[in-house]
Amino acid sequence: MSARHLAEAVRSGVRSARSVLDEHLDAISAREPEIHAFNVVLTEEARAAADEIDRRVAAGEDPGPLAGVPVAVKDNMCTRGIPTTCSSRILEGWIPPYDATVVERLAAAGAVMVGKTNLDEFAMGSSTENSAFGVTRNPLDTTKVPGGSSGGSAAAVAAGFVPLSLGSDTGGSIRQPAALCGVVGVKPTYGAVSRYGLVAFASSLDQIGPFARTVSDAALLLEVISGHDPLDSTSIPEAPADLTSVLDRGVEGMRIGIIEELSGDVLEGIAGDVRARLGEAAAALEAAGATVETTSVPSTVYGLSAY
């Protein structure tokens, strides 16, 4: 069931937040030893949060758009009273005295945080093999990596441990593991989501964004965490975009560019089937009414070295 449908079921009293949580905790118990998506699972804290959601529903209150939805948070975002390690022994045992803004917004929306997810140490990696606390496996094929650095967050969604999770993206750390794990991942526009409480990697590039199993759920989570935050000097001083209202709008009239240097033979190491899927996606967008054009960004070939 999607996060949207779960939240609707909890708000309407069809499902209890506690029963939703227990189903996901059972899934974690069954496969987490194999996958290792989490650095910590917050079983008791999550149960207390779910019970509070159920109390509010029983009292006639609306807990919010993510009522009772289990979520996971990458372990480089501060969580008050809960260790934040960045998957490094250097920070082992450090307990932040405050929540990151995105963590506060999750709680305000009624989400239930079930744990902190594994990552490459200090988010510096692309496979989630470089964690001081062990390797994360890809739920689709445990002989493969989930990507990184937000591999734990991607794996948690792909394995069905949670419908939604948060990652951070500097140079692909949401988008790449989303692709490898077969889920939806979005790096938002810079400044759309507050970075307050995110342990920095490269502040001019870092952004927090959602993982989900559907585009609709990713849009819902992005709406929840977006919006101006005076605690982040780079935060855009605008209200969050209404993404839900445009989900069914279609692509007719859009102009979409395919970067020649990323789709042709200029860059080495791009698998043939990846190129084929890109071509299929472009053709599908064109058939749906978009204009697809090839464009050139010659400096792309220096991107990885510069990064």
Tell me if residue 136 falls in helix, strand or coil.
coil
Nearest CA to 181 among 149, 198, 214, 159? 159
- Is 150 an active-site residue? no
Cα 133 from Cα 298, distance rounded (Å) = 40
Please tell me which residue in 16, 87, 149, 150 is annotated as part of the active site. Answer: 149
Query: Is 173 considered catalytic here?
Result: yes
Measure the CA–CA gap between 114 and 66, rounded to whole angstroms.
14
16 classed as catalytic: no
CA–CA separation, 187 vs 70, rounded Å? Answer: 21
**Annotated catalytic residue within 16, 74, 87, 131:** 74
Q: Which of 148, 162, 74 is CA-nearest to residue 112?
A: 162
Residue of 131, 173, 226, 235 with catalytic role: 173
Q: Are strands 112-117 and 38-41 parallel, antiparallel or unpaired?
A: antiparallel
> What is the longest distance spanned by two Cα atoms in the chain?
61
The DSSP result for 25-91, as a single string, is HHHHHHHHHHH--EEEE-HHHHHHHHHHHHHHHHTT----TTTT-EEEEETTB-BTTB---TT-GGG
CB-CB contact of 45 with 77 (8 Å): no
Give every CB contact of residue 163 below 8 A, 6+ residues apart in sequence.
1, 2, 3, 6, 69, 70, 71, 157, 212, 213, 217
Separation CA 21–CA 27 (nearest Å):
10
Catalytically active residues are 74, 149, 173
